[in-house]
Amino acid sequence: MRPVFMAARNRDSFARMITGVSMNPLALTGWVAVGTCVGAAIAMCSRALVRTRVLSVGERAVSAGATAVAFAAAAWRFGWGIDLVAYSSFAAVSVVLALIDIIEQRLPGVLILVGVLAVGASFVLGSVLVAGYADLFRAVAGMCVLGACYLVLALALGGLGAGDVKLAGLLGLALGWQSWGVVLAGTVLGWLLAGIARAVLRATGQVPRGAPMPMGPYLVLGAWLAILCDLAP
């Protein structure tokens, strides 16, 4: 009976690692500080990824601040656990991707690959610890399905670049770990935010008709809202 009891206790411990436990204020403050440092460090390292110019001090500060907010939001949503590691990795990469897209209307493929590897490795570890792979298979399927859909849209209608298609894979991975409903909600919300932003910018004369507009920031924001609020139809 003792081995069975120990095995059950180990499974419970692993389950707590995946589902997470709530953070106390001190731990949350520390995690926000980690997010600030990570955001600043990635912004500094992204110099090689920005082709036109070096990120300004203000832009690096925005990266650090936005990453800290995303770390705090992930900690609030998931608590301590594998999911916190996965979505903090997603935060670190997605914030810089959105910033570079705003500046250059370009999404560096190498940064997206880093995000896929970091988030994917966290999900694999979580699945192995609980010996349950349904969430992992759904996340991988979400990555493939969303990437394929964006590829079809890019080829059929235009307006989407290769970076947008690659970003869709990363978003599908992060959203798919939650549920198919979150994949749908995050995708629809991202496009809705992009449409509203474009309408407002055109109405105010800041974006000429037919001018390209970066999609990355809105797709990322839509995904984050769906993940944090657990939005699903």
**Half-sphere exposure of residue 20: CA atoms within 13 angstroms, side-chain side:** 17
Q: How confident is the model at residue 196 (pLDDT cuts 50, 70, 90)?
A: very high
Least confident of 19-33, 66-80, 82-96, 144-158: 19-33
Do residues 146 and 171 make contact, with C-beta atoms less than 8 angstroms apart?
yes
What is the domain partition of the chain in residue ranges? Answer: 1-119, 133-233
- The per-residue pLDDT for range 49-71, each reduced to its tens digit, is 777 777 778 888 888 999 999 99
Query: For residue 16, what pLDDT is reported?
Result: 45
Q: How confident is the model at residue 5 (pLDDT cuts 50, 70, 90)?
A: very low
Cβ neighbours of residue 65 under 8 Å, at least 6 residues apart? 36, 39
For range 161-181, the mean pLDDT: 95
- The per-residue pLDDT for range 90-125, each reduced to its tens digit, is 999 999 999 999 888 889 999 999 999 999 999 999
Least confident of 30-34, 170-174, 198-202, 205-209: 205-209
How many CB atoms neighbour CB 87 within 10 A?
A: 26
Distance CA 165, CA 147 (A): 6
Q: What is the pTM of this model?
A: 0.86
Q: How confident is the model at residue 222 (pLDDT cuts 50, 70, 90)?
A: very high
Supply the mean pLDDT for the chain: 85
- The secondary structure of residue 46, as a DSSP letter, is G
- 85 closest CA partner among 100, 76, 75: 75
Q: How confident is the model at residue 21 (pLDDT cuts 50, 70, 90)?
A: low
Do residues 178 and 230 make contact, with C-beta atoms less than 8 angstroms apart?
yes
Distance CA 41, CA 92 (A): 10
